[in-house]
Amino acid sequence: MPAFAAYASFVIYPLATGIQYSFYDWNGIGASTWVGIDNYITVFTNQNLLGAIGNAFFLIAFFTVIPVGTGLVLATLIRSMRDGVFLRASQTILFLPQIIPLAAAGIAWSWMYAQTGAVNQILGWFGLGWLGRPWLADYDTALPAVGLIGSWVLTGLCTVLLLTGIGKIDTSLFEAIRLDGAGWWREFFTITLPGLRQEIAVLVTLTVIAALSTFDIIYTSTQGGPGRATLVPSLLIFRIGFTQSDVGLASAFGIVMMVLVLAVVLPVQRLARASDH
């Protein structure tokens, strides 16, 4: 089975060597020394590394909560629109950010966020010019600003997928509850939301992985700065492994990151499956 061979040599084998590296102190060239779980202890005690993990979890708000939330509201409100040119064109446009490389999104947005960029300009139009600042260079706003790039990329995907999901729900259910005199909220909570459980689980899984492993956007927009305000695990793995040549620590961090993703994703999957019955 060639498929399994490819998978084994470029996913399973690196994973195994990664685990192996993570127990050693190695600079990538010279001899390596066995250090047991020292690298893991460093991951969980070093302020920098913990801060990066914290940042990654903070990004979940922007990569998961905002896109899925906005997607739900948009999808429930536009489901009654007739399938026409406008709706199809909107789908295409909403999807565009999904197509362009994340690195390009990082570049486009970092210029929008600049002191003289479009964000401050638009705030000015609404008389909010006093809010203006170089968003990515400000310690308080850099991380949320980066997070919003993620929201921009993922909201369209969420909306379109949820819209398709709603299309699969039996329309007579909607009509029945409306005849019962229910409003938007009750309809949303008794029919739409339960009907979309599966789609929501899928989206949460995808977007959480995206949030915990962001690299492209951060690399091209802030490089983790200012200070350590937007430092995330993937960028640290890159730096520790290739700039500081501490391969063991970087590998341990990689393994921790994978375990974190699994720890968040598996319960979501289980919830979705359990509530299917």
Partner 1 sequence: MIASRNEVLIGRVLLILALILTLIPLLNMLSAALQPADRNPTGMSWPTDPQWINFVTAFEVGNVWRLMGSSAFIVLCVVPVSLIIATLAGYALGGLRVRGNRVILIVFVLGLTIPFESLIIPLYYQAQALGTLNTQWAVIFPLIGLFMPFSVFWMRAHFVNVPRELSEAARVDGATLWQEFTRIQLPLAMPSVSALTILLFIWTWNQFLLPVVLIANPLDRTVAGALTFFQGQYYLSIPLLNAGALIIVLPAIAIFLIFQRQFIKALLQGAVKG
Map the footprint of partner 1 across residues 160-219, applying CB under 8 A. Answer: 160-161, 164, 171, 174-175, 178-179, 184, 198-199, 202-203, 205-206, 209, 212-213, 215-216, 219
Place of tokens 């789609």: 199
Q: How many residues belong to the site for partner 1 (CB under 8 A)?
A: 96
Place of tokens 């929008």: 112
CB of 172 to partner 1, least distance (A): 11
In sequence order, which ranges of the chain are alpha helices (DSSP H)? 2-7, 13-21, 38-45, 47-60, 66-78, 85-99, 102-112, 118-125, 142-168, 171-179, 184-187, 193-195, 197-212, 216-221, 233-238, 247-274
**Nearest-5° angle of CA 152, CA 158, CA 161?**
145
Nearer to partner 1, 140 or 180 (CB): 180
Nearer to partner 1, 61 or 182 (CB): 182
Nearer to partner 1, 6 or 131 (CB): 6
For the segment 62-121, give every residue that binds partner 1 (CB under 8 A).
70, 73-74, 77-81, 90-105, 107-109, 111-112, 116-118, 120-121
CB of 10 to partner 1, least distance (A): 3
The C-alpha atoms of residue 114 and residue 118 are separated, in whole angstroms, by 8
- Got the DSSP string for 66-109? HHHHHHHHHHHHHTTS-SSHHHHHHHHHHHHHHHS-HHHHHHHH
Considering only 34-42, 43-51, 61-69, 235-243, which stretch makes contact with partner 1 by CB under 8 A?
A: 235-243
Applying CB under 8 A, does 54 fall inside the site for partner 1?
A: no
Considering only 33-41, 43-51, 57-65, 233-241, which stretch makes contact with partner 1 by CB under 8 A?
A: 233-241
